[in-house]
Amino acid sequence: MKMEKIPSLTSEEIFEIKTDILADNSREAEEVRKLLREKKVFLINLMGSPGAGKTSLLVRTIEALKAEYRIGVMEADVDGDVDSLTIRETGARVIQLHTGGSCHMDADMTRKGMERMGLQDLDILFLENIGNLVCPAEFDVGANKRVMILSVPEGDDKPLKYPLMFQVSDCLLINKTDVKPVFNFDEDACRKRVYGLNKDIKIFPLSAKSGDGFEPWIDYLRTEVSAWRKSI
C-alpha cells in the first residue's frame, strides 16, 4: 500500500500557529490576574532547571513565612508526586498537577489548578513550574512575579544559553552558594550577563540548604506582597 506523503508546514505557518497559541495564552493570563485580584492572592511562578533546588527553596521559604501568610503550592510535574509530598510536610496547602507530557505550565492549566485547589484562605500561592529553562519562559501564567532559580553547579554561562528566561524573570535566585568552592562559578560574570539582558531584575545569592543569604529574599517577598495589596 502506497502511503500518501503529508506536506510539512512552512516556517511561516509554524510562526503563525505559535503566535496564535501565545495570543490565546495571554488572554487567559489576564483572566488569571483578574481572579487573583478578586481573591487577593499573590501568585509566584517559580522556574528553573531540574535539580536547581526549587522544592528545597520552597520548603525553607514556607517555613520562614508561614507564621505571617497563608501559603499554597501548586506542584507541576510531568508525572509523580514526590515534590508535593515534601511540601505537604510544611503544613502548606498543596496540589499536584500533571501536565501530561507538556514541558511547561500555561495560563489555562494554571487557572484550572487554582480552581481545583481553591483560593479561599490563601495569601500567597507558589507555582513550581516544570524543570526547564526554555518553554516556561515563553508562557505567561498570570503570576504577579516570575522568579527563576539558577544553581551554582549549572554554571555562570546560562544567561548566554537561555536568555529569554532571564529577560522575563523579575527575580533571580542564585542557589547552592554553599558549594561555590567546588565549582568554577564566577558570580560577577553571571551578574554582568544577567543585567545585560534585564537591568531591572533583582538578584539574591543564597543557599536553600544552609539558609545563608535567605533573609534578603524573604524581605523581597514581603515587600512585593505588601505593595501589591496596596495597589488593588
pLDDT, tens digit, for every residue of 78-100? 666 788 899 999 999 999 887 66
The reported pLDDT for the residue numbered 169 is 98
**What is the pLDDT at residue 24?**
86
Query: What is the residue whose three cell numbers read 508525572?
Result: 79
- Please report which confidence band the pLDDT of residue 21 belongs to, taking 50, 70 and 90 as the band edges: low
State pLDDT tens for residues 213-227. 999 999 999 999 999
pLDDT of 12 higher than 60: no
Q: What's this model's pTM, rounded to 2 decimal places? A: 0.88
For 121: left if phi > 0, alpha if psi spans -120 to 50, otherwise beta; the answer is left
Do residues 214 and 60 lie in contact, with contact meaning Cβ atoms separated by under 8 Å?
Answer: yes
Cα separation, 136 vs 145, whole angstroms: 13
Give me the pLDDT at residue 37, please.
Answer: 96
Query: Could you tell me the three cell numbers for 212?
Result: 545563608
pLDDT in tens, 91-148: 999 998 876 667 778 999 999 999 999 999 999 999 999 999 998 999 999 999 999 9
pLDDT for res 60: 98
Instruction: Answer for the pair 130, 78: CB distance below 8 angstroms, yes or no.
Output: yes
Who contacts 117 (Cβ-Cβ below 8 Å, separation ≥6)?
A: 72, 74, 93, 95, 125
Instruction: Report how far residue 150's alpha carbon sits from residue 152's, in angstroms, rounded to the nearest whole number.
Output: 7
E strand spans, 62-218: 71-77, 93-98, 124-128, 145-151, 171-175, 202-205
**Cell triple for residue 85?**
509530598
Catalogue all structural domains in the chain, each as residue range(s) with its CATH number. Answer: 26-231 (3.40.50.300)
Long-range CB contacts (< 8 A, 24+ apart) of 157-163?
A: 157/193, 158/133, 158/190, 159/190, 159/193, 159/194, 159/196, 159/197, 160/193, 161/133, 162/133, 162/134, 162/137, 163/197
Looking at the chain, the whole-number percentage of residues with pLDDT higher than 70 is: 88
Q: For 16-20, 157-161, 187-191, which range has the lowest pLDDT when averaged over its residues?
A: 16-20
pLDDT tens-digit map of 36-54:
999 999 999 999 999 999 9
Q: What is the mean pLDDT of residues 63-79?
A: 91
> What distance in Å separates the CA atoms of residue 106 and residue 25, rounded to the nearest whole number?
7
**Grid cell listed for 201:** 531584575
Residue 78 has what pLDDT?
Answer: 62
Residue 19: pLDDT band with limits 50, 70, 90: low
- Per-residue pLDDT tens for 160-183? 999 999 999 999 999 999 999 999
Distance (Å, whole) CA 5 – CA 28: 36
Query: What's the number of CA atoms in the CB half-sphere (13 Å) around residue 128?
Result: 31
Full DSSP string of 77-108: ESS--HHHHHHHTTT-EEEEEE-TT-SS--HH
Task: Check residue 83 and give its pLDDT.
Answer: 84
pLDDT tier at 22, thresholds 50, 70, 90:
low
